Amino acid sequence: MSDIQKEKEELIEMFGIHFETLHHFPPLASRILGTLIIDSCNTGMTFEDLVERMSASKSSVSTNLNLLLKIGKITYYTLPGDRKKYFKPSPFSERLDNYLKMIDFEKKIIDKMVSYREKTISSPQEKMNLENVKEYKNHVMEVEGLLLKTIERFKEIENKNKS
């Protein structure tokens, strides 16, 4: 195995571990996503490519591809006259959009928590909890603003590269 091939395999494994631990993806889905990120920049990869690369059964690869499609981490395209699907990671702007949805839901929880705590506060500990929750909301709002800027920048890059 060449040094560059070894480096690629290590990178895919790092992606795999990252997606397993941070996003709780199954191991095969994690490695498929890592492989697509590394190897599908130009043309995408077919189902058959992935079955061969992953050394996994067709049903396992299919199940994990469907999971990744469902949660918006990957997409596919087809070519006229070709029945194959070519899988690629979803554009960064779309993948980050999922984080915005999580942040939006978290803001709703925080608002309900603040409202509840303001109605029920009865001790110094609960007052401190309220202050912490309000400060956490400030943090979430900052993250949301940064994420919106980043998504906008990715969309600019993606649109420029489509031309």
Same domain membership, residue 33 and residue 83: yes
Q: 74, 89, 104: which is the final residue of a domain? A: 89
Q: What residues make up the domain containing 96?
A: 92-162
Distance, in Å, from the CA atom of 17 to the CA atom of 24, rounded to the nearest integer, reads 10
Same domain membership, residue 98 and residue 73: no
User: Looking at residue 64, what is its pLDDT?
Assistant: 98
Tell me the pLDDT tens digit for each residue of 95-116: 888 889 999 999 999 999 999 9
Same domain membership, residue 104 and residue 82: no
Same domain membership, residue 116 and residue 56: no
The total number of structural domains in the chain stands at 2
Write the CATH number for 81. 1.10.10.10
Query: What is the amino acid identity at position 162?
Result: K
Same domain membership, residue 73 and residue 10: yes
User: Looking at residue 92, what is its pLDDT?
Assistant: 85
Residues with pLDDT less than 70, the chain: 163
Task: Say what the pTM is.
Answer: 0.79
Q: 66, 89, 112: which is the final residue of a domain? A: 89
User: Looking at residue 41, what is its pLDDT?
Assistant: 78
User: Looking at residue 20, what is its pLDDT?
Assistant: 96
Q: Distance of CA 82 to CAs 5, 11, 51, 62, 110, Å?
A: 30, 31, 19, 19, 49
Same domain membership, residue 77 and residue 47: yes
Residue linked to tokens 């979430």: 140
